[in-house]
Amino acid sequence: MIVKHEINVPYRKATFGMGCFWGCDSLFGVMDGVLRTRVGYSGGTTPDPEYRNMGDHTEVIEIDYDPTKISYADLLDKFWNFHEYSLTAPIKRQYMSLILYHDEEQKQLATQSLKEEAAKSSEELITEIIPAGAFYPAEDYHQKYRLQGHSDLVDAIGLTRKLLQTSHVAARLNGYVVGLGGMEQFESDIPKLGLDDKTAEYVREQLRKNEGGMLYC
């Protein structure tokens, strides 16, 4: 089995905070056009944050995406519709609703989308929009957390510590094993990812079993 971990095409970054980062790692990783995902800490000033000592940072997901396949507006749509926690109730900074923009275009799109979402709500939205600063990757056990719960699958695809943050295959499978993406998309993905029959069947079983379930931490 030759697993196709890397996709080398021009990409852009997007960074969001939407509650616990385990769920959104699965959510975005399985979207067509998303190349890689990693979770970590950003948005604050505390140097070298860790999970048990995060300071003023927020749990975020950093996404590498192919802008010819998926737009920033598509990513924003997913951001607004899949927060783990409320968009209107105050919550501690670790889990806050946060958009970190990487350029002026992202800032404008994010600001406009916030106005549109606010117009739909009877309560004030608490989402913050700020420039993207330093991103600190979270500890290895947080990366592709759902996928790492399937040790045989992890071994089958040769997933290493580095690949937890850089592998396209890991990003996709981290969504499929929790029931995201749909069977049709997965079937079309099998040859693209380089999965053998045994590995594909295992993922297929997980997708069938978990499809339609809720993301949670």
* Domain 1-217 grouped into CATH 3.30.1060.10: yes
DSSP letter at 139 equals P
Closest CA to 38 of 164, 122, 152: 164
Helix (H, G, I), strand (E, B) or coil at 217: coil
pLDDT at residue 171, rounded to an integer? 98
Is pLDDT larger for residue 1 or for residue 7? 7
Radius of gyration of the chain (CA): 17
pLDDT digits (tens, 9 = 90+) for 129-176: 999 999 999 999 999 999 999 999 999 999 999 999 999 999 999 999
Q: Are strands 136-137 and 58-65 parallel, antiparallel or unpaired?
A: unpaired
pTM: 0.96
Q: Residue 25 in contact with residue 178, Cβ under 8 Å? A: no
pLDDT digits (tens, 9 = 90+) for 185-199: 999 999 999 999 999
Burial of 151 (0-12, 13-18, 19+ CB in 10 A): exposed
Reply yes or no on whether 217 is catalytic.
no
**What is the DSSP annotation of 154-193?**
HHHTT--TTHHHH-HHHHHHHHHTTT-S-HHHHHHHHHHH
Dist CA 204 CA 147 (whole Å): 14
With a cut of 90, say whether residue 214 has pLDDT above it: no
Closest CA to 19 of 60, 65, 62: 60
From the candidates 3, 20, 76, 132, which is the catalytic residue?
20
With a cut of 80, say whether residue 1 has pLDDT above it: no
pLDDT digits (tens, 9 = 90+) for 39-87: 999 999 999 999 999 999 999 999 999 999 999 999 999 999 998 787 8
DSSP letter at 69 equals T
Query: Six-digit token pair at 171?
Result: 């990003």
- Mean of the per-residue pLDDT values for the chain? 95
Q: Are strands 128-131 and 97-101 parallel, antiparallel or unpaired?
A: parallel
